[in-house]
Amino acid sequence: MTPLRQRMLNDMQVRNFAARTVKSYVDQVSQFARYFGRSPEQLGPEEIRLYQIHLVQKKKVAWNTFNQAVCALRFLYRTTLAKDWPVMHIPYAKRPKRLPTVLSADEVQRLLACIQFPKARLVLTTAYAAGLRISEATHLKVTDLDSSRMMIRVEQGKGAKDRYVPLSRRLLEELRAYWRLERPGHWLFPGWRDPREPIHVGTVQRMCQRAAQAAGIKKHVTPHTLRHSFATHLLEAGVDLPAIQRLLGHKDVRTTMVYLHVRQQRLHAITSPLDWLPVEPPTAPFEPPAAPPHEPLA
């Protein structure tokens, strides 16, 4: 490990960055250095500009990936290297605004029914029942379930924040049946190969995609789709937006407001004022209007 990488790791650790963020930043800086074949200490604003063009035009990365690279480089040059040039001028990309994919209640039921392995099915059931990110669901511990208060403790979710979400009675019954069969120890959903580790996120993602195909769902479905569906279904049921924000663990209510799109889906029930007009036969046959005469410019 180079001294620069170690210094950057130390800078992130003392700021209590999440493990996934640390790995992402290190990977992005490594790719940046490999592209130019030099240490980032020898590179500057012009190289960053050229690298951003490379990411967009050549690699055609997703905008999320592009902005991860920007965040990593900003941290490296502003914090670790403490450069005096305006690091904040490294531009972010404006991400396209897309509405999240949402499943209907029937599609959720079909999806869960088509998951072959009970443990994976229960992970995704938990994600939908509590609106969890897939990494939050896979990292649940047995002690995170509080049946006396009917709550689930989500420990160190995104942003290194703890929160509580309601524990569904139906989910509790399914988890109790699962516990009697599997007797999990520390992790509620231990991995198949190594029970000392939680079930791998990638494993659940693959099973979710296969189940969506088996269920005949044409939408692009990932485990995160169940979180979107959880929020949307609550909104449709009349739960207010601030409550959904707290359940999802969003810092800013504007992030939660994306789920207001479901109200647009109700627009099909609105009657056009044209339909209110009485239906009467036309008084004269329809003829296209004559072309206006040509008028020369004054």
Which of 7, 110, 210, 224 is labelled catalytic?
A: 224
d(CA 161, CA 179): 27
DSSP state of 58: I
Six-digit token string for 227: 């979180």
- Contact by Cβ (8 Å): 178, 270: no
CA distances from 224 to 80, 150, 291 (A): 33, 23, 56
Among residues 119, 133, 139, 233, the one annotated as catalytic is: 133
> Please, are residues 233 and 105 in contact by the beta-carbon 8 Å criterion?
yes
Cβ burial, residue 248 (10 Å; 0-12/13-18/19+): buried
Q: What count of residues does the chain have?
A: 298
| 119, 121, 139, 227: the active-site residue | 227
Q: Of 110, 158, 163, 200, which residue is the catalytic one? A: 158
- Strand-pair partners of 187: 141
Note if 128 is an active site residue: no
Q: Looking at this protein, which amino acid is placed at residue 233?
A: H
DSSP letter (8 states) at residue 60:
-
Task: Point out the catalytic residue in the list 259, 261, 266, 268.
Answer: 259
Is-catalytic flag, 89? no
Burial degree of 229 (CB within 10 A; 0-12, 13-18, 19+): buried
Active-site residue flag, 77? no
Distance in angstroms (rounded) separating the CA atoms of residues 211 and 28: 33
DSSP readout, 83-122? -SS-GGGSPPP-----PPP---HHHHHHHHHT-SSHHHHH
d(CA 193, CA 161): 29
Is residue 158 part of the annotated active site? The answer reads yes
Residues 39 and 2: their CA atoms lie apart, in Å, by 10
Q: What share of the chain is helix, strand, coil (3-state, %, to 5)?
A: 55, 5, 35
User: Is 259 among the residues known to form the active site?
Assistant: yes
Task: Give the residue numbers annotated as catalytic, written as ranges.
Answer: 133, 158, 224, 227, 250, 259
